[in-house]
Amino acid sequence: MFGAGQLLCAELKRSVASMLPWDIPWYDPSHAVFFAALYGALSVIGLGVLTAVLMTLKRLRQEDKGGHH
């Protein structure tokens, strides 16, 4: 007998418990594509913010103080 309860339980097994990489069912292609794109985009944003912070710190430490008002 295959009821709606069994169907719902099967879908719950595939659901994501958390967004952490070790909790994601990577064997499911839809999860793998989505989370690979998500983590890729977050990595690019994080590298951009890190670059901006490092460039700001570099400019603040320069000895040329005549540039600001």
User: Per-domain residue ranges for the chain?
Assistant: 4-60
pLDDT over 60 at 7, yes or no: no
Taking the CB of residue 24, how many other CB atoms lie within 10 A of it? 19
Q: Which amino acid is at 27?
A: Y
pLDDT tens-digit readout, 32-68: 888 899 999 999 999 999 999 999 999 999 866 655 6
Residue 69 DSSP symbol = -
pTM of the complete model: 0.60
